[in-house]
Structure 1
């Protein structure tokens, strides 16, 4: 049995023993742009890449790169809906290990992926996306987060455009380049 997956750029990525040198932003952008939020149970396709781009746009300049990459581990493990993920501690550990490698690869501070401000923006967008794209909205979500469903902050309006994967990928890479000044 093999312990790796083949990435979009052709690399072998070992999800159990990831290394920073195998991390490629093109793999992350491509996979996240082709991954649908909420396990695909939406009225229209909405990618994890677009969610991450929106997250970055609501954070200050210092945290924006963390917002862009906060779900980057899902490029290698896929997006597992939160209620399921919280019952799979091994998946959470694998994702944290991958995020640690991503932080090292791009010279980031791993702990900032878990800061309160980013978590609040992530939840805010999750609620907005659910209200717009889930057939039943946020029905039954009361008490799911310390941030609540309505009064979670004064964030600027972010549109949930439901871009095609190729557009979401391009915007993700463009923002990455703007934030890091790394050539993509």
Structure 2
């Protein structure tokens, strides 16, 4: 890691700069593909709880992403893995709040989505098709966390245990990202 590019977020956070988990300097005003890494995406999304944390058990954005990936047909799998990747850098803003701050948050989110999809060679327009599966996953998750309906989500976890037996969610998600995108990762 180049020490010239490593800053403490407190020193220049008022300039839109912060560090990622891997020590990359993230410029929130002008993000670039070089700032993005699979490990940062994996770490960020596995550490962020869905539903604004307002659920009984921790359920990460990474787990949600894996559910969307599972639901999607093959031609959308890569886009599904990246559909919330910007949240690794921006956090998971719950829908009601996101709607209230859309005018300022939306353009920043769009910049990060564009840079992430560009870096990993995935067509950003596929997000429109992934949205259906994202909503389907939200409904499954809501039924599970709010009403205790275990129908699909328990099957999903059984499938994931078979695929990645003995791994943590962070390890599972990082393995999945690397299996799809490691050929596009430089220095990450």
- TM exceeding 0.5: yes
Structure 2 SS opposite 1:86: helix
Tell me which residue corresponds to 1:177.
178
Structure 1 SS opposite 2:100: coil
Structure 1 residue 181, shift from structure 2 partner: 5.0
State the Cα deviation string for residues 87-125 of structure 1 (Å, max 9, x = none): 21221221111010001111111111222xx11111111
CA RMSD of the aligned region, Å? 2.5
Contact 1:86 1:92 in 2 (8 A): no
Gaps of 5+ in 1: 138-156
CA distance in 2, matches of 1:34, 1:12: 19
CA distance in 2, matches of 1:56, 1:46: 16
Bigger Rg, structure 1 or 2: 2
Tell me which residue corresponds to 1:119.
131
Contact 1:52 1:68 in 2 (8 A): yes
State the Cα deviation string for residues 37-68 of structure 1 (Å, max 9, x = none): 00000010000001101111111222101111
* 1:16 pairs with 2:14: no
Q: Which has the higher helix share?
A: 2
Contact 1:103 1:109 in 2 (8 A): yes
Aligned length: 161
TM-score, scaled to structure 2: 0.77
CA distance in 2, matches of 1:97, 1:167: 30
Contact 1:53 1:171 in 2 (8 A): no
TM-score, scaled to structure 1: 0.79
CA distance in 1, matches of 2:25, 2:137: 32
